[in-house]
Amino acid sequence: MSRVLLINGSPNERGCTYTALREIADTLDTNGVETEILWLGRSPMQDCIACFRCQETGKCVFDDLVNETAARLDEFDGMIFGSPVYYGGPTGRLTSFLDRLFFSADGSKFAGKAAAAVVSCRRGGATASFERLNQFILMTNMYAVGSQYWNQVHGHTPDDVRKDLEGLQTMRTLGRNMAYLLKARAAAAEAGISRPVHEQKVFTHFIR
């Protein structure tokens, strides 16, 4: 059975972001996909200091939830990143976590996974935050899962979010789309259709 890890980047464990993620998780569960919601908590989250030690050791020099999650990446076939909107962007907690996770972990552990970003806002800034989180997905050979609208919900409280009928429907559609993609991927593997083999990465910059 496929498994999806949903990461809650809100400081509120059961707030608006959780309400959106819970709607997706329930839909995935109904469609035969196991789920786990990981709350990043309220403790300070160390950001990346570009020490590059992870390139030597295979793990982040700061031994915390990032390394714990990296060690479990093979358990999951899909990932969803959820965040409230702070000043038109996702939380620093979540972006610091994802910066270190994606930089320190073996990139092949992300390739081929189904992935999506979800954002929650009171009023504005959702699409900018949504775009920021999608950058992690779109440059690591993950398969971005869309929905009937941008993956966002609106509300100041969880009760408000539960009244956002379009937003919750968007979450359910996202869940069904992800479940379908995961089942299609499994069926392809059974049929002998292998994942793409990627070329060795070429790194350049603008002055060479």
Name the one residue in this structure whose structure tokens are 């464990």: 13
Q: Show me where the domains of the chain are located.
A: 3-190
At 102-136, the pLDDT tens digits run 999 998 999 999 999 999 999 999 999 999 999 99
At 40-86, the pLDDT tens digits run 999 999 999 999 999 999 999 999 999 999 999 999 999 999 999 99
Report how far residue 130's alpha carbon sits from residue 48's, in angstroms, rounded to the nearest whole number.
21
Percent of the chain with pLDDT over 90: 94
pLDDT surpassing 70 at residue 29: yes
Report how far residue 82's alpha carbon sits from residue 96's, in angstroms, rounded to the nearest whole number.
14
Report how far residue 17's alpha carbon sits from residue 85's, in angstroms, rounded to the nearest whole number.
10
Which tokens hold the place of 97?
Answer: 């976590």
User: Smallest Cα–Cα separation from 178: which of 136, 139, 123, 137?
Assistant: 137
Average pLDDT, the chain: 96
Predicted confidence at residue 131, as pLDDT, reads 98
Report how far residue 187's alpha carbon sits from residue 193's, in angstroms, rounded to the nearest whole number.
9
- 3-190 CATH, one of 3.20.20.140, 3.30.450.40, 3.40.50.360, 3.40.718.10: 3.40.50.360
**For range 193-202, the mean pLDDT:** 90
Q: How does residue 208 score in pLDDT terms, banded at 50, 70 and 90? A: low
At 4-27, the pLDDT tens digits run 999 999 999 999 999 999 999 999
